[in-house]
Structure 1
Amino acid sequence: MSKKLYCEDLIHFSDVMSDFNRVMIITELMNGRALCASWLAKQLNLSPSATRFHLKKLEDAQLIHQRTCGRHHYYEINNQDTADFIESTFRIIPPNDYLILTNTSNKQKFQQARTCYKHLAGSWSVTLTQSLLQNNLIAIQEDLFLITTAGKKFLNHHQLLPDDFDNKIAGKRCIDFTEHRDHIGGQLGSQLLKAMLYQAWFKQDINRRELTITLLGRIKLNAIMNV
């Protein structure tokens, strides 16, 4: 890509994200769910026409895409790379200001555990990542987390990875914007959160990013982190 094209893309992104309502739509979609326009309109107190206008702007910028299910149209973040890029731009916002944007009812809960698109973020995620690193269950390779042989056996044992999970599938090093340290993102991060939700280690509110850790989740994660 030429410098001119790169600058044009950056200017376009800045222009699209300069609108408060579009930032709020993106913030709602960062919980990794597909949401319909009518729900977003009600949540953000926008008219249907204004909501469609903002969604079209975000879609044209390739930040979100539309999925059709019968007569219903749903919108979601384009992909993991897009979510990572959006999350990285949110790091320039002071955490307390971002908490206002997320409309969270519980600041402490949001900082402890939340979704970051489709993976786990917050203090629980950062502590888990550090524990896996210290025990050589994952390893850093540039901007990625790779699973070690011992790590795959360990995570299989705790039912966090399926037996046929490909060791070559990596996790992205995602800087947690409230903890300012790495947590596991990417495909590996998505798989870990999926398994934790399936086993009821966390409960998820369909309309919010924050997660509630269960008693079982505390027991299991503490056991994992103590190895």
Structure 2
Amino acid sequence: MNKLYCEDLILFSDAMSDSNRVIIITELMSGRALSATWLANRLNLSPQATRFHLKKLEDVELIHHRACGKHRYYEIKNQDTAMFIESTFKIIPPKDCLFLTNANANTKIKFKEARMCYNHLAGSWSVALTQSFINNEFIVKQDNFFIVTEKGKNFFNEHKLLVNVFDTTFVGKRCIDFSEHRDHIGGSLGALLLQSMLQQEWFKQNDNSRELTITPKGRKNLNLLLIYKYEDL
């Protein structure tokens, strides 16, 4: 094993060895950019202690910050980093208290049904939709990616799920869902699909949480997508 890789792995393990840093990561996995002040309040820590934890995570390049006026806003470094973090959750799922504002049974169920995975949909709904899209040949697996077929382009446009997109290739990454242990659609395709669903009010993003709430309109449309059988005209 490469010595440099071993050193990186040790640094990563050290960075994720503190529960406060794990909480920071899970909060940022909502896809939001959060200030150090907001995170300090969430963690109930002093600003100095919060900055210490943020620097540890920046040093191993899990997060980065953007300056906006006098404030710094922190976010997950990029999509690949988010997928790596989500894959570690698959092996060692974070405890409920780390990512649930109200750790009751109803909230846990909702969180497993639909949540943000950085910038795309995760949870049981996402896994079910992905499998339905595969079965209908709207997407095909190609190595670690999902490729949208011509049939898929027509379907997604028909349901206003890829609107105002002029790129001729639609590619999504195969992201493992840590609660379902199966593929869902990540990457640029996953982000576009979720953006369209949010715009159509199929889901509502809850404040200060990765959890997504399914609206009655969304539940109706999602169920229609699951039972949809595409027939060529």
Q: CA RMSD in A?
A: 1.3
The equivalent residue for 1:172 is: 173
Gaps of 5+ in 2: 229-233
The alignment's TM-score, normalised by the length of structure 1, stands at 0.94
Deviations 1:97-142 (A, max 9, x none): 5322212421000010000111000111011001100000000011
Is the CA contact 2:163–2:196 (under 8 Å) kept in the aligned structure 1?
no
Deviations 1:146-196 (A, max 9, x none): 100010111011111025342433111111111111110111111111111
**Identity rate, percent:** 64
SS at match of 1:128: helix
The alignment's TM-score, normalised by the length of structure 2, stands at 0.92
Distance 2:49 2:165 in 1: 46
Distance 2:16 2:227 in 1: 42
Distance 2:100 2:203 in 1: 20
List aligned pairs for 1:48-67, cutoff 5 A.
Answer: 48-67=47-66
The equivalent residue for 1:26 is: 25
1:93 offset after TM fit, Å? 2.0
**Structure 1 residue 225 and structure 2 residue 226: aligned?**
yes
SS at match of 1:91: helix
SS at match of 1:126: helix
List aligned pairs for 1:1-227, cutoff 5 A.
Answer: 3-94=2-93, 98-105=95-102, 106-227=107-228
Distance 1:47 1:92 in 2: 31
Q: Runs ≥4 in structure 1, deviation > 3 angstroms?
A: none
1:216 offset after TM fit, Å? 0.8
1:4 offset after TM fit, Å? 1.3
Distance 2:220 2:168 in 1: 26
Gaps of 5+ in 1: none
Aligned length: 224
Distance 2:166 2:11 in 1: 38
Distance 1:142 1:42 in 2: 42
